[in-house]
Amino acid sequence: MGKDMPKDAKPAQQRIDQFFSGPGGRADNWRDLVEAAKAWSRGGDRAKYDAALADLSVTEEFHGYPGLQLMAALREAAAAGDAATSLALATRITVALTTRSFRQHASDWSTKEEGNGDVPELVPPTFGAHTTRRPYFETLIVTGVAPGQWPALAAEWRKLRRPVDAFIYEPVIVGSLEDAFCATMLNPNIAAVIINEGFGLRSRHNAPVLRSITASAGLNDESDASALRLAQIIKRVRPELDLYMISNRDVEELAGNPEASVVRRIFYSVEELLELHLSILEGIQDRYDTPFFDNLKKYAQRPIGTFHALPIARGKSIFKSDWIRDMGEFYGANLFLAESSATTGGLDSMLEPTGTIKKAQEKAARALGADRVFFVTNGTSTSNKMAVQALLAPGDIAIVDRNCHKSHHYGMVLSGVQPVYVEAFPMTEYSMYGAVPLRTIKQALLAARAEGRLDRVKLLDLTNCTFDGHIYNTRRVMEECLAIKPDLIFLWDEAWFGFARWSPFLRPRTAMGAASDIEAWLHDPASVAAYERKRAELGDNPSDAALLETRLVPDPRKVRLRVYQTNSTHKSMSALRQGSMVLVKDVDYHTVEEQFHEAVFTHASTSPNQQLIASLDVARRQMELEGFGLVTNAIEIALVIRREVNRHPLISKYFRVLGADGMIPAEYRQSGFVDFLAPGANWASALRSMQEDEFCLDPTRMTLVCGTAGYDGTQFKNLLANDYNIQLNKTSRNSVLLQSNINNTRSDVAHLIRVLMEISRAVEARLEQGGDGERQTFAARVKSLMTDVPDLPNFSCFHEAFRHDAGSATPEGDIRAGFYAAYNPTSCEHIRLFDQAIDQRLENGPPLVSANFVIPYPPGFPIMVPGQVLTRETIDFMRKLDVKEIHGYNATEGLKLVHPDALAKLATADRR
Ligand SMILES: Cc1ncc(COP(=O)(O)O)c(C=O)c1O
């Protein structure tokens, strides 16, 4: 991405504000240094080495390893013209960084080769001496002390290390607000920050992007660099970090300042260094503790006799068997030792948690920025049904993206909710949908208001981000909807987006990120004035047209902020499959609390899987301690894949990853942002897009167009899986979806690029060797995949038989009545898709009304829902579908329809 992207060529001077250049970029810099050292030691160009070292020295200031001494040693070797030592040291540091061995091995910190005696001075003997691995992190120290004193300051901190410490950390020292910001953005190892008063504002390094951001945040001169201001900035960027403040002034007053609530502890002067050290370790321990998992491990070690069901518990039925022993050997004994149906002894009950599960859920709520969290062990499919059931009663209206996951639709069926389906913008070219424009949502609310039915509209239900990566402007959507209906509840399905909490770039666009910004806005005294200004501007009784055109501001005095988010923890964090969470930030939660418990009782298994619950607990721990770095890496990897595919001369002839401009029409990119890879794009322009645009693209979700290589999505997915061991999930008619996550490495990228090159080469060879015939067939295939694409059918309407309780001009319908109509076989008929009777009925009636959900994969949204009137567009789409998996449709029997006689009966029955 412009200068922020992993580089094509080295910029003139290493910049400290390349925030998309994460661990991969850093590794590249070290590799470049080693290469330059090799060239120099072979008698080559020394200037190149000097330049590489100077470049690297700038950003290495923000890292604990290699640290001040090793960097100084590198510079000394260079100054002495000692190419051999330079190469040896650079190589050793690079290996230590790549293998992460410096986290455990004291020798990696030595300025000399293997144990030459200077280790104790640099690192006390306790370092690495533990038999068990002690997790390593880094603590950022922001100080006004002159740089010349930093080595001595770092040594002071190291002296505090004790053998009993559960963790070990290395100080990273910076002297300005800008450097502190860069260090928090660039160094994922930082887990705690100590802010001393008296530091400056500006870094001495070049940082144009950062300066444009600080200027827009109102940080212009040195007096803006206060400790509190910095604490707030860091908390906004990385809320998981523990912040400590050291002040020589009136600490009591500081402690009472509400703005200081972001700080974990305030210390007076530096005299209590050991206290501070202990506080830092305690803060990490708090994040490290996993109440349920810790207890499960203890439970597994206890000698327990079980006299309840669950024979596999303790593993005896497995390990004593000749026939199923391999299962035990495959999974290992702990799995069975930790199996139990007990809810006591530290194991707690999922249905009524009071102990370790409750505590684990509370920690998850803290980590995810919610008021409370429910763990769910049956996937987000269940989380969504739970939320819908808890929040809505029969007859309530919900505005729902028709393209959302089926669990929402089924949730509405079960709860008797009347959906108002709203349509996402279509991406017909790729046979997929985008996201629902805010205008459409406002129109639905205003239509309900015009009919006097707004009180029945309880919920807005949207998917953020979508499977394909469209991210809503969650804050704007909620604010504008609350301006029309101040107590509207929001359910954001963030099945794919749970990880986004740990990206400062993506977080404001998550449900909880936006909810917390809105909450702050509601408490800001300036907000009432903002509302009044907007009201005056709109005048009394503004027209719907005016309301649609204007960016609405809610009345902060009336708003009831009620936000729910579901996420498939297993899809983006280290939880076992089906691990999911429901997040709640609802000022009126007490009014639905009992319903929520009922929903848990309805949907949760009474035998929840212990390993799954433990994995949710552990996934939270990991993200709180290393989520920032893992997510940065996932984004960096995605940007590398995007760049490599689109610029590779051969691959880009046949494949392309769609950028933001390919995925989001220009009208929804108000900031003018084109793409991460577009010339001139940088972190600031991407951030502006995140702040302003109606829709943004999640860079980690990459739509790879394969129709241009002659493959349909399913074919290409199978080719990658069967011939190259590359697995992916979603396909469309002419594309596949690649996804990077916290698990991916640069090797995965290399493998993918290699495979795409091989496939491109094979296509190229076929075309070259196959003659005109082959080329024509290929062109025809590409045309069919890329241009002869069926129009995506919008939701038509519910049949009148299911709209007796609906508004005359609003589209809701009784989906549950439609669903249950199919339970009586005599009420249904089947007509085969290509039967002429279908066309006749479309022409002359009686209408064709679906008796069930029909969901083709891909695209994965319901083409038909129960009670829906079928139109020519729906039938045409079904007839052109060339996918094998269509849930709810049996080609031999045909479409399942509600019989016209049954419709007539239903209509009259309801009139009576
Ligand atoms: C948007 C969305 N919501 C919910 C789900 C269901 O999640 P789970 O697989 O965790 O049940 C999916 C599954 O793909 C999904 O795409």
Three-state secondary structure of 798-819: ECHHHCCCCCCCCCCCCHHHHH
The token pair at 549 is 């055109």
Ligand 1 pocket, residue 493 CB under 6 Å: yes
Least confident of 522-531, 673-682, 795-804: 673-682
What was the pLDDT predicted at 270? 65
Instruction: Tell whether the model's pLDDT for residue 893 goes beyond 80.
Output: yes
The token pair at 331 is 């999974």
Non-local CB neighbours of 838 within 8 Å, separated by 6+ positions: 831, 832, 848, 875, 895
Pairing of strands 828-831, 580-586: unpaired
Q: Which of 376, 471, 568 to probe ligand 1 with, by most ligand atoms within 8 A of CB?
A: 568
Ligand 1 pocket, residue 102 CB under 6 Å: no
Calculate the CA 80 to chain-centre distance. Answer: 48
- pLDDT tens digits for 840-860? 999 999 999 999 999 988 777
Instruction: Sort 675 into a burial class: Cβ within 10 Å, 0-12 / 13-18 / 19+.
Output: buried
Q: Which of 818, 826, 878, 899 is nearest to 852 (CA)?
A: 818
Q: How far apart (Å, rounded) are the C-alpha atoms in residues 713 and 882?
A: 11
What was the pLDDT predicted at 769? 94
Q: Which of 571, 728, 729 to probe ligand 1 with, by most ligand atoms within 8 A of CB?
A: 571
Instruction: Tell whether the model's pLDDT for residue 123 goes beyond 50.
Output: no
Nearest atom in ligand 1 to the alpha carbon of residue 467 is 16
Ligand 1 pocket, residue 184 CB under 6 Å: no
Q: How far apart (Å, rounded) are the C-alpha atoms in residues 551 and 557?
A: 18
CB 69 within 8 A of CB 151: yes
Q: Which whole-number Å values give the CA distances from 401 to 250, 464, 488, 596, 770, in the listed order? A: 54, 11, 16, 23, 47
What's the 472 CA to ligand 1 centre distance in angstroms? 17
The predicted model scores a pTM of: 0.94
Phi, psi of 458 (to 5 degrees): -105, -30
What was the pLDDT predicted at 465? 93
What was the pLDDT predicted at 8? 44
What was the pLDDT predicted at 433? 93
Q: Which of 171, 210, 6 is nearest to 638 (CA)?
A: 6
What's the 171 CA to ligand 1 centre distance in angstroms? 42
Q: Which of 376, 385, 405 to probe ligand 1 with, by most ligand atoms within 8 A of CB?
A: 405
Instruction: Tell whether the model's pLDDT for residue 127 goes beyond 70.
Output: no
What's the 498 CA to ligand 1 centre distance in angstroms? 12
What's the 578 CA to ligand 1 centre distance in angstroms? 9
Q: Which of 374, 375, 377, 381 to probe ligand 1 with, by most ligand atoms within 8 A of CB?
A: 381
Q: Which of 893, 891, 897, 840 is nearest to 870 (CA)?
A: 897
What was the pLDDT predicted at 859? 72
What was the pLDDT predicted at 124? 43
Query: In the predicted model, what is the mean pLDDT of the chain?
Result: 91
Ligand 1 pocket, residue 378 CB under 6 Å: no
Q: How confident is the model at residue 114 (pLDDT cuts 50, 70, 90)?
A: low
Q: How confident is the model at residue 119 (pLDDT cuts 50, 70, 90)?
A: very low
Pairing of strands 489-493, 457-463: parallel
- pLDDT tens digits for 8-26? 444 445 676 777 777 888 8
Q: Which whole-number Å values give the CA distances from 523 to 196, 426, 561, in the listed order? A: 29, 38, 12
What's the 382 CA to ligand 1 centre distance in angstroms? 9
What's the 827 CA to ligand 1 centre distance in angstroms? 32
Q: Which whole-number Å values give the CA distances from 774 to 709, 710, 719, 782, 866, in the listed order? A: 13, 12, 20, 12, 46
What's the 843 CA to ligand 1 centre distance in angstroms? 38
- pLDDT tens digits for 33-90? 999 999 999 998 899 999 999 988 888 999 999 999 999 999 999 999 999 999 999 9
What was the pLDDT predicted at 707? 97
What's the 454 CA to ligand 1 centre distance in angstroms? 29
- For range 442-460, the mean pLDDT: 97
What was the pLDDT predicted at 510? 98
Instruction: Sort 255 into a burial class: Cβ within 10 Å, 0-12 / 13-18 / 19+.
Output: middle
Ligand 1 pocket, residue 456 CB under 6 Å: no
What was the pLDDT predicted at 121? 39
What was the pLDDT predicted at 746? 86
Ligand 1 pocket, residue 566 CB under 6 Å: no
- pLDDT tens digits for 130-141? 456 899 999 999
What's the 461 CA to ligand 1 centre distance in angstroms? 14
- For range 326-330, the mean pLDDT: 95
Ligand 1 pocket, residue 465 CB under 6 Å: no
What was the pLDDT predicted at 401? 97
Instruction: Tell whether the model's pLDDT for residue 730 goes beyond 50.
Output: yes
Instruction: Tell whether the model's pLDDT for residue 129 goes beyond 60.
Output: no
Ligand 1 pocket, residue 818 CB under 6 Å: no
CB 835 within 8 A of CB 878: no
- Cα angle 293, 299, 302 (rounded to 5 degrees) comes to 155
Instruction: Tell whether the model's pLDDT for residue 729 goes beyond 90.
Output: no
Pairing of strands 885-887, 470-472: unpaired
What's the 890 CA to ligand 1 centre distance in angstroms? 24
- pLDDT tens digits for 32-47? 999 999 999 999 889 9
Instruction: Tell whether the model's pLDDT for residue 820 goes beyond 90.
Output: yes
Q: How far apart (Å, rounded) are the C-alpha atoms in residues 163 and 178?
A: 35
What's the 405 CA to ligand 1 centre distance in angstroms? 6
Ligand 1 pocket, residue 379 CB under 6 Å: yes
Q: Which whole-number Å values give the CA distances from 765 to 758, 759, 768, in the listed order? A: 10, 10, 5
Non-local CB neighbours of 649 within 8 Å, separated by 6+ positions: none
What was the pLDDT predicted at 132? 66
- pLDDT tens digits for 657-705? 999 999 999 999 999 999 998 988 888 889 899 999 999 999 999 999 9
Instruction: Tell whether the model's pLDDT for residue 797 goes beyond 90.
Output: yes
The residue type found at 779 is A
Ligand 1 pocket, residue 380 CB under 6 Å: yes
What was the pLDDT predicted at 910? 52
Q: Which of 452, 455, 443, 393 is nearest to 807 (CA)?
A: 452
What was the pLDDT predicted at 259? 82
Instruction: Tell whether the model's pLDDT for residue 572 goes beyond 90.
Output: yes
What DSSP string describes 498-565? GGGGG-TTTGGGSHHHHHHHHHHHHH-THHHHHHHHHHHHH-SS--HHHHHHS-----TTT---EEEE
* Element containing residue 99 per DSSP (H, E): helix 83-99
- pLDDT tens digits for 623-638? 999 999 999 999 999 9
Ligand 1 pocket, residue 739 CB under 6 Å: no
- For range 189-196, the mean pLDDT: 97
Beta bridge partners of 887: 855
Q: Which of 374, 380, 400, 464 to probe ligand 1 with, by most ligand atoms within 8 A of CB?
A: 380
The token pair at 585 is 């930030």
Nearest atom in ligand 1 to the alpha carbon of residue 384 is 4
The residue type found at 36 is A
What was the pLDDT predicted at 10? 44
Q: How far apart (Å, rounded) are the C-alpha atoms in residues 306 and 296?
A: 16
What was the pLDDT predicted at 351? 87
Ligand 1 pocket, residue 464 CB under 6 Å: no
Ligand 1 pocket, residue 433 CB under 6 Å: no
Ligand 1 pocket, residue 467 CB under 6 Å: yes
Nearest atom in ligand 1 to the alpha carbon of residue 378 is 11
Ligand 1 pocket, residue 612 CB under 6 Å: no
- pLDDT tens digits for 345-372? 667 888 889 999 999 999 999 999 999 9
Ligand 1 pocket, residue 381 CB under 6 Å: yes
Ligand 1 pocket, residue 181 CB under 6 Å: no
Place of tokens 């650079």: 90
CB 59 within 8 A of CB 210: no
- pLDDT tens digits for 386-433? 999 999 999 999 999 999 999 999 999 999 999 999 999 999 999 899
Q: Where are the beta strands (DSSP E) in 610-743?
A: 656-657, 695-697, 701-705, 735-739
